[in-house]
Structure 1
Amino acid sequence: MEQDMGDIESQTNYKETLEETSEILHNGKRPVILKFDDVVYKIKAKKGGLFKKNIEVEEKTILKGVTGIVQPGEMLAMLGPSGSGKTTLLTALGGRLGGKLYGSITYNEKPFSNVIKRNTGFVTQDDVLYPHLTVTETLVFTALLRLPNSVTKEEKVTHAKNVIDQLGLTKCKDSIVGSAYLRGVSGGERKRVSIGQELLINPSLLFLDEPTSGLDSTTAQRIVSTLWDLARGGRTIVMTIHQPSSRLYYMFHKVLLLAEGNVLYFGKGSEAIEHFTNIGYAPAMAMNPSDFLLDLANGIYTDDTNHDHTIDKQKLISAFKNNYDEQSKPEHREINDSDTSQGRFQETGSGKWPTSWSEQFFVLLRRDVKERKYESFSGLRIAQVLVVALMSGLLWYKSDMSHLQDQIGLLFFVTGFWGFFPLFQAIFTFPQELMMLEKERSSGMYRLSAYFISRMVADLPMELVLPTIFLLITYFMAGLKATVINFFQTLFSLLLNVLVSQGLGLALGAVVLDQKSATTLASVIMLCFLLAGGFYVQNVPKFIVWVKYVSVSYYTYQLFIGSQYHSGDTYPCSSGQCLIDEFPPIKQIGIDLNGLGFAALALVIMLIGYRLIAYCALMRIGVTKKLA
């Protein structure tokens, strides 16, 4: 009893806080009338095998003339069996669907725009979250990025904590979210965190794809009750839901029943049974209305004798169209003819972001550091670097000028190892974060430039610490020149190599976006760079000599040679002491200052160039999605 009273008190306190915060957040926002008329969506599916000359392209229709309207204060639930088109329709209504989309979708009689996007929340079926962040960190970072500057930082944090309380996440607020490979909160709690991210902005229009999936009935009831409260406050709520309980069903103001892309029913949830009863399909027993509707959508009807019969779904489709044409068109005319100026978005400032570029950058930087530090400084990665460093130091232990070829071999090995290592670490960055980037960018959370630069800055200390430790171990064990200038020249060359290789990995990952393909391509490119690096082959044929001038390994190896050996130095040879300039491998590479300066400049250009390629590739993804 005390616990129940505590829950009621917590619920009451939250609603009071929600009303206060909503008043701040809702300033300048307007209710949304969502209307969709005769929405048709088609995709092209290819038929034929890899080696067939004639590949047929079949056009498949996913949505077949779906029509409906949702007004402020209403919550629409879209029901239907798997493959009926629920998620496709929800994605189309949320302005996130590319391809051949026909018909009309309007928001207060206007098409989708940036101002609508930033007043819209969209909860995907798959929970796209950073696994190493806690529940509180996840929601606070989202609040700091998505809530406008008119709300102070303290109010944003408070609002995030209120959402945590409302969604029943208090007990796990300090637990990491986790993933399929990292133990964290439960699946139901992850779903509530995803919903909480969208509730933070107090959206005028909220879309949810299976928000109760994987949740127990009590938690599902709590979430839908929260959504009902939001709708009652003037929000427009649209969701897909698989099989709601009868308690949830009667909370929906409207229900849309889909079957194979066709509408079988659209209207008040309380009138659905009456509609099907009027056309000869009455439930034979007292049952959950959603179960009855899903049976009909699957083409099954259970009669009084408890026998299942297959029904003609085309009859249901025709019956609905006739009924909807008679009853629903006046509602459309009334909205079209009425003055909806109170419900229109103000286009003033529609191009503005919720926060400034600098705020986005610093919040993303803090989030990136918190999330990435676990991967960058994982025990396995540190052990890998330490073992290779110690093994290299032992194999080349106290190597001196009498073993000049061995020293050169060590320098080239370091070139290759710290070319491959950061390359394959960076190549997975954007493919792994693509879903997160698409989710956050589609909601207008931040600029792409703020995200990209924060990732580059966040990676700097983490990517440069391990190679520095590696060199500190290997350099002095191997007996390389133990002077401050020589050491720091070598360190500078190594770090520059790491950053360029990392940039190449980022570019390949962003351009290809398929981890397996990107890894294969990276292996081929880096092996070509190593072969042309100047160690294995000194006399490269003229027709292929150009490869070394685009090789990261070639320029890094040249800088390593220049950091250890200078013109005029000598080394022991058969005739006594020989000039180091005449040692064949070094003579071929060259250690003059002009050559070293050009090598450093070439690497700096690559460092910037590869990152620009990565950024343009990410921009292309956004453009493609908009044009699709």
Structure 2
Amino acid sequence: MAAVNQVSTTVSSTGTISFHNINYTVGTKARSHKRRSKCLTLPFFKVTEQKQILFDVSGRFMNGMNAILGPSGSGKSSLLDILADRKDPRGTSGIVLVDNFPRHPSFRYTVGYVVQEDICSGTLTVRENLYFSVSLRLSEALSASDKRVRVSTVITELSLEACADTRVGTEFLRGISGGEKKRTCIGMELVLSPNILFLDEPTTGLDASTASSIMNCLKDLSRRGRTIIFSIHQPRYSIFKLFDTVMLMCNGQCVYHGSAKGVVPYFSTHDYQCEPYDNPADFALDVLIDIGRKPDIIAKLNDLYNKTDADTSAAFPRPGNMIDLESLDHKRRKYKVQAARSLGAEIFYLSQRTLRNSFRNPALALSQISVSIILGAMVGLLFYDLKKTTDSGVQNRLGAIFFISLNQIFINVTAIDALLKERALFIHEYASGYYRIFTYFIAKLLCDLLPMRVIPTILFSIISYFMMGLSRTISQFFIFLLTIFIASLFGSAMCFFISAITSIFPVALIIAILICVMMTMFSGFVLDLDSVFKWLSWIQWTSASRYVSNLLIINEFQGLTFCLSNQTNVCPMTGEQILDNLDIPHANSWDLWKNFLALTIMTVLFLISSYIQLIRIKKTK
């Protein structure tokens, strides 16, 4: 497969994007009873129907403010994604040209795309977010001083000087305003110096004043020779008059494409009159909603549009050349686009951001450490100075080990929420060409999962181990510490995998709880594993709690003797006898370390599965 560099080409100087006969079809669940009944005997087959979203949409966007306006479900966001090369190519057809040439394979990485949600790192400052973007998306040939100059220029362009060194903010950290956050997201795209900038409903969720500020900012950018293309739902008049061209969409078809001033006169010729002092955008939306219930009028307006100068002046290729251009468009997808930066550079910048996120997020960093200290002290107090007696000594040791083995895995469920919140950031950044999946995974593992397990593990182990009065030898403490660490790492890997397979927090939480409950049931403490049905007994070999408890029990009980509590110095029970009663093999060191090996293998399998799932996550819309 041929390869091209992500930054080897830039968008043409004029930034004119034209498109012809864009169709888009998606598969939806079949609603027809007849279609479903055909597959009643084969429930594993997904019955789908094809639904067409866009119908032969054509047009041209040039330098200036280009709005795609329409009611919900009209196809405006789908068209925007197709033009930006963000839509899954399956189900799409038609030609998209940039300055009358097919889009380069690296097109999606050399234009700006701002999603509807404000996606950026909340623990970083505005300047740090912009510097992160320019560091990963532009060539290594750009010096550090040039990067800083480019970032400062964008900050000035977007009037972000007052908040440049203020953190963006999270739900736990007060930060910048909504308008400043939107401009920060725009700035993360502008550091590429793109001539084409796409925005998906940039005013959604903003108040009227902030929305006007954002659109005036975009208007200023368009005056500097940029092509600004955005979808928008229902703008106020002060925003509508900023548009240079407007494309009106209704039920997946274009019914008007021309100047913003020409909207009212155009519809007046079709018996739709705009009341005096009425907002033209509101008027247009009312018309679109009305004709949306009249397919014959939509067809008439669409046919009329296809015959207007707005379409014919687009200088589209002749029908004989359409097949060749479409063939070229399909071929470009076969090129493998090389990353702008090396693996080492990506890991460095990702690790730097990940560590900043960890240290600047009090809800994550401090809570992990605080909980470890509190739980360590609580366990130490509940099982303080365990006696070596046959009654309480044995029972309390087993109880402490059961609680520790369960807690060290289950407590990591709290990380699911943070991982899910980062999921949207990962999808957007990967789709925009910030980094490879491999480098994101390595940075996440080395600078998040491992550090957030090491420090809490050491604190919990030191506090609880010596307060409980467990066997005080260096080797046994080391095994205890290592077991707690790998148990915590297993819990983190499990939560990482769960957050990769679903984006819904309640679903992720239910999956995590079910896994923890099953592991607890088959840990060997709750029920006699020999009494379980044979067709269910295999689950015990997938129970991480079982391996953790086996490690801790062997480590603690081997070599101990338990005496009667009447101070007669009669010690009728040894730790080995207790291990035999619990049916835990302990003949040699392999019986200890095989549990550690099994736990390590399960952890690695979860990490590998997480990486595979990150690859499988749909990056296109």
TM-score range, shorter chain: 0.7 to 0.9
Task: Please give the alpha-carbon distance, in whole angstroms, between the structure 2 residues aligned to 1:239 and 1:486.
Answer: 63
Instruction: Assess, with a 3 A threshold, how the Cα gap between structure 1 residues 245 and 535 changes in structure 2: closer, same or farther.
Output: closer
Counterpart AA for 1:365: S
1:438-492, CA deviations, whole angstroms, 9 ceiling, x for partnerless residues?
2111112110111111111112112221122112111111111223222122101
Among 176, 187, 190, the residue aligned to 2:181? 190
SS at match of 2:28: strand
Q: 1:210 aligns with which of 195, 198, 201?
A: 201
**Cα shift readout 1:76-127 (whole Å, capped 9, x = no counterpart):** 2112233433223212322333497444142346666641111122111221
CA distance 1:140–1:578, change in 2 (3 Å): same
Structure 2 counterpart of 1:576: 571
Number of the residue aligned with 1:305: none
1:356 equivalent to 2:346? Answer no
CA shift for structure 1 position 283: 4.4
Which amino acid counterpart does residue 187 of structure 2 have in structure 1? G
- Aligned-pair distance for 1:45? 5.2
CA shift for structure 1 position 172: 1.9
Shift of 1:323: 4.7
Give distance in 1, aligned partners of 2:336 and 2:177. Answer: 38
- Counterpart in the other structure of 2:589: 593
Q: Deviations over 1:213-242 (max 9, x none)?
A: 425265235312233135x2xx43311233
CA-to-partner distance for each residue in 1:287-308, whole Å, 9 max, x for gaps? 65434433432439xxxxxxxx
User: Who is 1:531 aligned against?
Assistant: 521
Equivalent in 148, 151, 154 of residue 163 of structure 1: 154
Q: SS of 1:554's equivalent?
A: helix
Kept after mapping to 1: 8 A contact 2:23/2:54? yes
| Larger mean Cα displacement after TM superposition, 344-353 or 377-386 | 344-353
Cα deviation for residue 369 of structure 1 reads 1.7
Distance 1:184 1:485 in 2: 48
Tell me if structure 2 keeps the 8 A contact 1:90–1:207.
yes
Give, in angstroms, the shift of residue 158 of structure 1: 2.6
Q: Percent sequence identity over matched residues?
A: 27
- CA deviations 1:194-225 (Å, max 9, x no partner) are 11111121224321122244252652353122
**Is 2:542 aligned against 1:550?**
yes
Any conservation in 1 of the 2:67–2:245 contact (CA below 8 Å)?
A: yes
Partner of 1:4: none
Tell me which amino acid in the other structure corresponds to 2:605: G
Question: Secondary structure at the residue paired with 1:163?
Answer: helix
What SS is found at the alignment partner of 1:441?
Answer: helix
Change (3 A) 1:379 1:426: closer
Q: What secondary structure is seen at the aligned counterpart in 2 of 1:351?
A: strand
- Residue type of the alignment partner of 2:614: L
Instruction: Give 1:132 deviation, angstroms.
Output: 2.4
Aligned partner of residue 77 in structure 1, secondary structure: strand
C-alpha contact 1:114 1:444 (8 A) present in aligned 2:
no
State the partner residue of 2:441.
Answer: 452
The yes-or-no answer on 1:478 pairing with 2:473 is no
C-alpha separation in 2, matches of 1:211 and 1:26: 29
In the alignment, what sits opposite 2:19? 35
**1:143·1:157 contact (CA, 8 Å) conserved in 2?**
no
Give the aligned partner of residue 408 of structure 1. 398
Is the CA contact (8 Å cut-off) linking 2:18 and 2:314 kept in structure 1?
no
- What residue ranges of structure 1 are gaps of 5+ in the alignment? 1-24, 301-309
1:107-186 to structure 2, matched below 5 A, reads 107-108=97-98, 114-179=105-170, 182-186=173-177
SS in 2 for 1:322: helix
1:26/1:590 Cα in 2 relative to 1: closer, same or farther (>3 Å)?
A: closer
**In the alignment, residue 217 of structure 2 is paired with which amino acid?**
I
Residues 282 and 571 of structure 1: is their aligned pair in 2 closer, same or farther, counting only changes over 3 Å?
A: closer
Contact 2:137 2:192 in 1 (8 A): yes
Q: Select the residue among 280, 293, 307 that pairs with 2:284.
A: 293
Change (3 A) 1:438 1:32: farther
> How big is each residue's C-alpha offset from its partner over 1:256-287, in whole Å with a ceiling of 9 and x where there is no partner?
01233332211233444443344454645466
Name the counterpart of 2:377: 390
Report the counterpart of residue 263 of structure 1 in structure 2.
254
What is the deviation of 1:180? 5.5
Amino acid corresponding to residue 581 of structure 1 in structure 2: E
Answer with 557-566 or 247-256: which moved more: 247-256
Out of 347, 351, 354, the position equivalent to 1:368 is 354
Q: Write the mapping of 1:474-513 to structure 2, written as runs, cut at 5 A.
A: 474-513=464-503
Q: Does the 8 Å CA contact 1:228/1:251 hold for their aligned counterparts?
A: no
Q: Is the 8 Å Cα contact of residues 398 and 478 (structure 1) preserved in structure 2?
A: yes
Counterpart contact for 2:522–2:540, Cα < 8 Å: yes
Structure 2 residue aligned with 1:8: none
Q: How does 1:7-86 map to 2 (within 5 A)?
A: 28-30=10-12, 31=15, 33-42=17-26, 44=28, 47=31, 60-71=51-62, 73-86=63-76
Q: What is the RMSD computed on CA atoms of the aligned residues?
A: 3.6
Aligned in 2, Cα 1:81/1:523: closer, same or farther, shift over 3 Å?
closer
Tell whether 2:217 aligns with 1:223: yes
Q: Which runs of 5+ in 2 are unaligned?
A: 1-6, 41-46, 322-327
Q: Alpha-carbon deviation of 1:399?
A: 0.8
Please say if residues 520 and 545 of structure 2, whose CA atoms lie closer than 8 Å, have aligned partners that are also in contact: yes
* Stretch moving more, 311-320 or 290-299: 311-320
Q: Secondary structure at the match of 1:583?
A: helix
In 2, the alpha carbon distance for the partners of 1:429 and 1:614 equals 16
Rounded to whole Å, the distance in 2 between the matches of 1:157 and 1:372 is 24
Q: CA deviation at 1:47?
A: 4.7
> 1:599 is matched by which residue type in structure 2?
N
Kindly indicate whether the alpha-carbon contact (under 8 Å) linking 2:114 and 2:189 is maintained by their aligned counterparts in 1.
Answer: yes
TM-score normalised by length of structure 2 = 0.83
Decide which of 613, 618, 621 is 1:617's aligned counterpart.
613
Q: 2:307 aligns with which of 311, 325, 328?
A: 325
Question: Shift of residue 619 of structure 1?
Answer: 1.0
**Structure 2 CA distance for aligned equivalents of residues 518 and 295 of structure 1:** 41
**Contact preservation (8 Å) 1:255, 1:268:** yes
